[in-house]
């Protein structure tokens, strides 16, 4: 089984904790992970802003980099969602049918982290230890594009020491939305503030989600509010063990 | 003028609307967000209706099948719209109705104004209708000296308050009952029977005041104007579904009935209603069945209106039909489920969308009907975080996020060559499209981290005020994933640049 990590450009540049934890977790579970470094970005931000051809050119870096791998694993519902449910359709609309077939082939091999763990590795208890109160935000694209369902919470609930507090309106959008956060900054902030309020109300120490982008947005608001709540990617929690605990430092 | 010969800009924002085509969605939204009463009213109302809908959808054993059937029926209609419309025309005429065709808002308003004038009436009663709002019929009738009275309770509140509708189904959703009481006390008298001087904000009292006011209109009106939820081609039947009974009054009491119907409202057979009469009430009001469903086909001597007219309206719909990707927009049955679940709509309300069609469906429908020319209409497809809640709730499975991206692509394709944002995204692509450039940029990030903040946390950045006004900039990482991987590979003594062809990959 040839497995490649797809850290995503955001994870690579701005939130490397998530892909690093993904590599450590998968290796702990006995998976040999490769990082084909020709990959850069899935092109989602360009596609979603209307720059279809530029976005598809970026997606092409993934097609080349992941050729020959049985499975591609990304710690992001949003970027995996774009690979699986967006780029091929747009390629067909732009008249790039052969490339769309390549994207379809890649889509069939690409998994969000919780899907890969539960569906491919058939594991729910990953042997993690994380003695903290957490709450989980179900990111939009993981829920509504990919349909990850309860996989992330099943994985979390199997972590020893972890106490999961229910989050009100858990699957309501946090307001990030890529360029939406900048183009409609006021609405985005209003949505994010409501999400942050729900998170604070849980009394959790840590907000967990499967997308770095949403975490950075809500985390930025929690930090500004000095809420004392840390953000962590699902992969970081699952990578944490007694021997190698994840640090829950000051937020 | 567009290819179909219509004048763009004919989709109204409703009477009393304050919107301006030069004010884009983000600026209009900022005004709405600052209104805490509006935020409270909307938050309460959308949460209530969302929960009701969720309950009656969850209990239905065949919801997904109904949803697929509804989408399928509409897609079949749209694929052969001309055939179904001609059949509808034949059957309506056979029943004694007169059929008119309106290419745009101006034509529709002219036809209806002339029909009312021919009766000699100076006022008409109206059934709640989105198409008549779309064409600005009330304003056109007023210009001709004809008063059009809205008889739906929420439309009455909007009309009396010289306000604009902010929701497809619940046009006064932005008002609470204290505000409604004040509107009735201030404005009912000038429009007919006054509200009682001791009116309270008790919902039953408010409804009673409206009933007394409207009953006078129903009993005196000679002409009614309606829309239609569905038009059945095989039987020539129009249908209106409603909750208050005001529609039934308008459809049965006056001598003349004029209905303005969008051409996409046609369904081929009577049996098709089986699907929509289940999905529409559950999606719109959260009820299993709506209280009043009225059907009429043509004229029945001695029973109901004796002069029946149907105006079939294009007004941009054939332009939508011509776009094979966006065509599915015309499946919409105007239920408002997408508005009620939309986190953007919930916080801004409908007025920010500058159209009688607000919310997610408005963000795709309005620019297609009106054309993507003004700053407002160019901003509407971006008024979404693409969270997908709308598509999930849609009873005819319209892929709204996908259509929003499709419209964004149209806007980007048509942008000037030297557009600032286009240049920025080109520059970003140049970095993101090349692993070496990306790695260099990531090393720059690490430098920026040291320069900007000793702690790694950045509270304010002059270049990104739209982010930093409410959010801290993320802690910048010490090194990228790419750098971590390369360093680890060096320690392990393997090639960090592992690809499928490189030996020793995946250390």
Tens of pLDDT, residues B65-83: 999 999 999 999 999 999 9
Q: How far is B216 from chain A (nearest CA, A)?
A: 44
**Chain A touched by B506 (CB under 8 Å):** yes
> pLDDT (tens digit, 9 = 90+) per residue, B469-503?
888 888 788 899 999 999 998 876 554 444 333 33
Q: Which residue of B has its CA nearest to A142?
A: B387
CB-based contact B348 A65, cutoff 8 Å? no
The helix (run of H) or strand (run of E) holding residue B295 is: strand B292-296
CB-based contact B386 A180, cutoff 8 Å? yes
The pLDDT value recorded for residue B12 is 66
Chain B segment 291-330 residues within 8 A of A by beta carbon are 325
Q: Which residue of B has its CA nearest to A184?
A: B26
CB-based contact A186 B33, cutoff 8 Å? yes
> 3-state class of A233 per DSSP?
strand
Q: How far apart are CA B38 and CA B451, in angstroms?
A: 43
In a domain, B238, yes or no: yes
**Chain A touched by B383 (CB under 8 Å):** yes
In a domain, B309, yes or no: yes
> pLDDT (tens digit, 9 = 90+) per residue, B97-145?
999 999 999 999 999 999 999 999 999 999 999 999 999 999 999 999 9
Q: Report whether pLDDT(A205) > 50.
A: yes
Q: Which residue of A has its CA nearest to B459?
A: A224
**B476 vs A69, more confident:** A69
CATH number of the domain located at residue range(s) A133-239 in this protein: 3.40.50
Phi-psi region of B161 (alpha: psi -120 to 50; beta: other; left: phi over 0): alpha
Q: How far is A215 from chain B (nearest CA, A)?
A: 10
Q: Which residue of A has its CA nearest to B484?
A: A20
Q: Domain holding B193: CATH number?
A: 3.40.50.10420
Q: Which residue of B has its CA nearest to A58?
A: B433
Q: Which of B318, B343, B359 is where one domain is finished?
A: B318
CB-based contact A49 B433, cutoff 8 Å? no
Are B254 and B111 members of one domain? yes
In a domain, B263, yes or no: yes
Mean pLDDT score across all residues of chain B: 90
Q: Any idea of the CA torsion for B150, B155, B158, B162, to the nearest 10 degrees? A: -20
- CB proximity list for B22: less than 8 A, separation 6 or greater: B374, B375, B376
**Chain A touched by B35 (CB under 8 Å):** no
Q: Report whether pLDDT(B190) > 80.
A: yes
- Nearest to A181, CA basis, from B465, B69, B351: B465
Among A5, A40, A92, which would you mutate to test the B interface (most chain B Cβ atoms within 10 Å of its Cβ)?
Answer: A40
Nearest to B408 among A49, A176, A186 (CB): A49
Are B125 and B266 members of one domain? yes
DSSP B102: E
Chain B segment 47-106 residues within 8 A of A by beta carbon are none
The pLDDT value recorded for residue B474 is 80
Q: Report whether pLDDT(B222) > 80.
A: yes
Among A150-154, B107-111, B254-258, B474-478, which stretch is predicted with the lowest mean pLDDT?
Answer: B474-478
The pLDDT value recorded for residue B458 is 55
The sign of the torsion formed by the CA atoms of B293, B294, B297, B302 equals positive
Q: How many domains does chain B have?
A: 2
Q: How far apart are CA B337 and CA B265, in angstroms?
A: 18
Q: Report whether pLDDT(B225) > 70.
A: yes
In a domain, B454, yes or no: yes
Tell me what ipTM this predicted complex has: 0.96
Q: How many CB pairs under 8 A join A and B?
A: 214
pLDDT band at B10 (very low <50, low <70, confident <90, very high): low
CB-based contact B385 A191, cutoff 8 Å? yes
**B451 vs B199, more confident:** B199
Contacts of A49 in chain B (CB under 8 A): 408, 412, 421, 425
pLDDT band at B21 (very low <50, low <70, confident <90, very high): confident
> pLDDT (tens digit, 9 = 90+) per residue, A171-194?
999 999 999 999 999 999 999 999
The pLDDT value recorded for residue A122 is 98
Arithmetic mean of pLDDT, A193-215: 97
Nearest to B435 among A38, A185, A223 (CB): A38
In a domain, B347, yes or no: no
Contacts of B500 in chain A (CB under 8 A): 2, 34, 36, 67-69
In a domain, B164, yes or no: yes
What residues does each domain of chain A span?
A: 3-120, 133-239
Q: Domain residues for B478?
A: 420-501
CB-based contact A15 B467, cutoff 8 Å? no
Q: How far apart are CA A161 and CA A248, in angstroms?
A: 14
> pLDDT (tens digit, 9 = 90+) per residue, B260-289?
999 999 999 999 999 999 999 999 999 999
Are B301 and B432 members of one domain? no
Strands across the sheet with A133-137, in order? A163-165, A133-137, A206-209, A230-233
Q: Report whether pLDDT(B462) > 70.
A: no
Arithmetic mean of pLDDT, A24-53: 97
Among B352, B471, B474, B502, which would you mutate to test the A interface (most chain A Cβ atoms within 10 Å of its Cβ)?
Answer: B471
* Contacts by residues B137-145 (CB-CB < 8 Å, ≥ 24 positions apart): B137/B108, B137/B109, B137/B112, B137/B225, B137/B260, B138/B15, B139/B12, B139/B15, B140/B109, B140/B110, B140/B112, B140/B113, B141/B109, B141/B112, B141/B113, B141/B116, B144/B113, B144/B116, B144/B117
> pLDDT (tens digit, 9 = 90+) per residue, B327-381?
999 999 999 999 999 999 999 999 999 999 999 999 999 999 999 999 999 999 9
In a domain, B374, yes or no: no
Arithmetic mean of pLDDT, B211-230: 97
CB-based contact A9 B392, cutoff 8 Å? no
> pLDDT (tens digit, 9 = 90+) per residue, A76-88?
999 999 999 999 9
The pLDDT value recorded for residue B395 is 98
Are B313 and B446 members of one domain? no
Q: Which of B290, B318, B346 is where one domain is finished?
A: B318
In a domain, B94, yes or no: yes
The pLDDT value recorded for residue B505 is 31
Q: How far is A218 from chain B (nearest CA, A)?
A: 8
Strands across the sheet with A33-34, in order? A33-34, A3-5, A71-74, A110-112
Instruction: Determine what percent of chain B is predicted with pLDDT higher than 90.
Output: 77
Q: What DSSP string describes B364-376?
A: HHHHHHH-S-SHH
**Chain B touched by A34 (CB under 8 Å):** yes
């Amino acid at each position: 089984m040839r497995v490649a990590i797809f850290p995503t450009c955001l994870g690579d540049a701005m939130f490397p904790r998530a892909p690093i934890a993904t590599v450590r977790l998968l290796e702990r579970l006995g998976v040999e992970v490769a990082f084909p470094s020709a990959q850069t970005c899935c092109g989602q931000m360009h596609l979603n802003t209307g720059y279809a051809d530029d976005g598809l050119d970026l997606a092409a870096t993934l097609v080349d980099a992941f050729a020959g791998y049985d499975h591609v694993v990304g710690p992001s519902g949003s970027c995996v969602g774009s690979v699986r449910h967006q780029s091929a359709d747009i390629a067909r609309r732009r008249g790039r049918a052969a490339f769309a077939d390549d994207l379809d082939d890649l889509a069939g091999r690409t998994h969000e982290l919780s899907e890969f763990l539960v569906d491919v590795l058939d594991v729910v208890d990953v042997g993690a230890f994380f003695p903290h109160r957490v709450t989980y935000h179900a990111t939009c694209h993981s829920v509504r594009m990919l349909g990850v369902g309860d996989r992330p919470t099943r994985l979390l609930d199997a972590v020893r020491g972890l106490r999961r507090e229910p989050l009100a309106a858990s699957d309501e959008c946090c307001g990030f939305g890529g360029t939406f956060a900048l183009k409609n900054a006021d609405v985005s902030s209003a949505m994010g503030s409501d999400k942050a309020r729900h998170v604070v109300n849980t009394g959790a120490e840590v907000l967990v989600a499967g997308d770095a982008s949403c975490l950075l947005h809500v985390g930025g608001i929690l930090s500004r509010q000095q809420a004392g709540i840390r953000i962590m990617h699902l992969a970081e929690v699952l990578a944490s063990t007694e021997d190698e605990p994840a640090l829950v430092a000051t937020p | 003028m567009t290819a179909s010969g219509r004048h763009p800009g004919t989709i109204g924002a409703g009477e009393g609307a304050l919107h301006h085509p030069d004010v884009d969605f983000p600026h209009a939204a900022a005004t709405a967000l600052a209104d805490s009463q509006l935020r409270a009213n909307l938050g309460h109302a959308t949460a209530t209706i969302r929960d009701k809908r969720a309950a009656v959808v969850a209990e239905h054993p065949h919801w997904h099948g109904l949803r697929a059937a509804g989408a399928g029926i509409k897609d079949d209609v749209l694929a052969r719209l001309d055939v179904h419309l001609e059949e509808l025309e034949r059957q309506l005429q056979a029943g004694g109705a007169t059929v008119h065709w309106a290419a745009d808002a101006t034509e529709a308003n002219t036809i209806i104004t002339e029909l009312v004038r021919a009766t000699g009436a100076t006022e008409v009663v109206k059934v709640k209708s989105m198409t008549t709002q779309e064409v600005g019929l009330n304003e056109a009738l007023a210009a001709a000296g004809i008063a059009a009275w809205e008889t739906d309770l929420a439309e009455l509140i909007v009309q009396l308050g010289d306000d604009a509708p902010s929701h497809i189904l619940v046009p006064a959703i932005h008002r609470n009952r204290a505000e409604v009481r004040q509107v009735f006390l201030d404005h009912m008298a000038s429009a007919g029977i006054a509200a009682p001087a001791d009116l309270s904000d008790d919902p039953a009292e408010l409804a009673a005041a409206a009933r007394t006011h409207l009953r006078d209109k129903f009993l005196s009106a000679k002409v009614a104007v309606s829309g239609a939820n569905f038009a059945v081609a095989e039987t020539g039947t129009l249908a209106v579904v409603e909750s208050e009974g005001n529609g039934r009054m308008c459809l049965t009491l006056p001598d003349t009935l004029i209905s303005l119907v969008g051409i996409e409202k046609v369904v081929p057979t009577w049996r098709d209603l089986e699907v929509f009469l289940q999905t529409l009430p559950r999606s719109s009001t959260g009820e299993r069945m709506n209280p009043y469903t009225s059907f009429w086909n043509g004229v029945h001597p001695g029973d109901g209106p004796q002069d029946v007219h149907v105006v079939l309206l294009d007004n941009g719909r054939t332009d939508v039909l011509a776009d094979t990707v966006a065509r599915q927009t015309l499946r919409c049955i105007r239920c408002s489920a997408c508005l009620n679940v939309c986190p953007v709509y919930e916080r801004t309300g409908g007025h920010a969308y500058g159209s009688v069609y607000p919310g997610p469906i408005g963000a795709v429908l309005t620019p297609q009907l009106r054309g993507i020319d003004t700053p407002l209409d160019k901003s509407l497809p971006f008024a979404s975080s693409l969270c997908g809640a709308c598509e999930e709730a849609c009873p005819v499975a319209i892929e709204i996020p996908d259509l929003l991206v499709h419209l964004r692509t149209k806007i980007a394709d048509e942008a000037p060559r030297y557009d600032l944002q286009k240049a920025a995204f080109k520059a970003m692509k140049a970095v993101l499209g090349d692993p070496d450039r990306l790695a260099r940029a990531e090393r720059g990030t690490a430098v920026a981290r040291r320069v900007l903040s000793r702690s790694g946390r950045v509270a304010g950045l002059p270049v990104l005020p739209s982010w930093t006004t409410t959010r801290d900039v993320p802690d910048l990482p010490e090194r990228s994933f790419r750098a971590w991987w390369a360093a680890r590979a060096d320690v392990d003594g393997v090639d960090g640049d592992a690809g499928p062809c490189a030996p020793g990959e995946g250390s």
